[in-house]
Amino acid sequence: MKKFDKPIYITRPLLPDRTAVNKLFDEIWQSQWLTNQGQKHNKLEMDLQEILDVPYLSLFNNGTIALLVAIKALDLTGEVITTPFTFPATTHALEWNNINPVFCDIDENTLTIDPKKIEQLITPKTTGILGVHVYGMPCHVDLIQNIANQNELKVIYDGAHAFNSEINGIGIGNYGDITMYSFHATKLFHTIEGGALATKIAETKTRIDLMKNFGIQNEEEILITGINGKMNEFQAAVGLANLDLLNKERVKRKKILKQYLDNLKDVPGVDPFIIPENIEHSYQYFMIRVKEEYGKSRDELHRSLKEYNVFTRKYFFPLISNLPPYKHLESADPENLQVANKIVEEVLCLPFYGGLDLMEIDDICDLIKEIRES
């Protein structure tokens, strides 16, 4: 079996043309305006609002702070029902708001929070539902909204992986009360670190913008307990330059996805995660489930690929409900989270970014086939 002569990572960031970035940086120098709702920030906010097809957008210095603010802006308290199958930031954002996360099992097909199991978890203390569009697969947004309406709950979506995802042509940020996006370096679109909140409610946008700037209304009025969530001009400049690369990158990732699917379709026990056709793909991750018929465990495959210089990731292992800060919770009992506890042992994200060429994808798939037979 052929070992790659350089490490192949799960992702590599988009790197815009340095001349283009330098030009934007020169403009920042001339303006002497480095942060606090500068011109670049404002332009990027408007551009992204259009690209993401959302009524209102607010940029942030990262996705985690954005999520903290979303929870506070909606005045959530007590308990919030959420998925255990996510990156730690989702659940930590609840804890940092002194809210008890209540874990709900996931749907085996979408891997998002299972709406059939939400209602039984609602108590008088429940104030909201926090779903995650994991790997860019949308939650069951209509069913969740019905439950929320019937029980007077707010809905927040963690859309860290769902940049540009659409359901039947509607931007993902139009669902729920607030949607968070992450623009971290590992994301399809990035501002090095960064994020945003989308909402369709004008007053919520006003509250979010106040909150991300310490609650400052003007020099003499500080209205609420805000925080510093501002995106600076350098982050925004990198974002603006990256916007020019976005379409090409998506086209490349689309080809890579097809190459993986063609190569892996007949490998027993390798089950690629498919985004349905009515969903605009976010091209953020390519995940396979490694099942019993593969003959080796997910962990064995993950380890073996490393020996060949292929660094896959077990996103999102370990399950959040099994982590020290959360495992004591009643809702963290694995008996109630059987699907999530099973799935988390099967998932493996393969290298997925435009810088890979199709022959490298063939080689990765050959390794997966050969490891199975070894």
Of the candidate residues 35, 100, 186, 213, the single one contacting ligand T4K (CB under 6 A) = 186
Min dist. Cβ of residue 13 to ligand T4K (A) = 5
Sheet holding 56-60, edge to edge: 56-60, 195-199, 178-182, 154-158, 126-132, 79-82, 100-103
User: Which of 57, 70, 81, 89: binder of ligand T4K (CB under 6 A)?
Assistant: 89
Helix, strand, or coil (residue 110): coil
The residue among 38 and 136 lying less far from ligand T4K, judged by its C-beta, is: 136
Q: Closest residue to ligand T4K, Cβ-based?
A: 63
| Amino acid (one-letter) located at 159 | G
Helices marked H in 212-272: 233-243, 246-264
- Between helix 233-243 and helix 39-51 the angle, nearest 10°, is 40
Q: What does the per-residue mask of binding to ligand T4K show for 49-68, with x meaning CB under 6 A?
A: -------------xxx----
Coil, strand, or helix at residue 132?
Answer: strand
Q: Which of 51, 185, 275, 339 binds ligand T4K (CB under 6 A)?
A: 185
Among residue numbers 302 through 321, which ones bind ligand T4K (CB under 6 A)? 311, 315
Among 28, 129, 132, 348, binds ligand T4K (CB under 6 A): 132
CB 123 within 8 A of CB 79: yes
Contact stretch for ligand T4K (CB under 6 A) within 111-119, 178-186, 236-244, 263-271: 178-186
Q: Please, what is the minimum distance in Å from the beta carbon of residue 92 to ligand T4K?
A: 9
> Could you tell me the two tokens for 144?
């969740």
User: Residue 75, class by beta-carbon neighbours within 10 Å (0-12 exposed, 13-18 middle, 19+ buried)?
Assistant: exposed
**Is residue 133 a contact partner of residue 159, using CB atoms and an 8 Å limit?**
yes
Nearer to ligand T4K, 294 or 326 (CB): 326
| 13 counts as binding ligand T4K under rule CB under 6 A | yes
Tokens at 288, concatenated:
């396979």
Contact string 189-228 vs ligand T4K (x = CB under 6 A)? ------x---------------------------------
Question: Cβ atoms within 10 A of the Cβ of 314, count?
Answer: 17
Burial of 58 (0-12, 13-18, 19+ CB in 10 A): buried
Residue from 58, 86, 259, 341 touching ligand T4K (CB under 6 A): that is 86
| Site of interaction with ligand T4K (CB under 6 A) | 9-13, 62-64, 86-87, 89-90, 132, 158, 160, 182, 184-186, 195, 311, 315
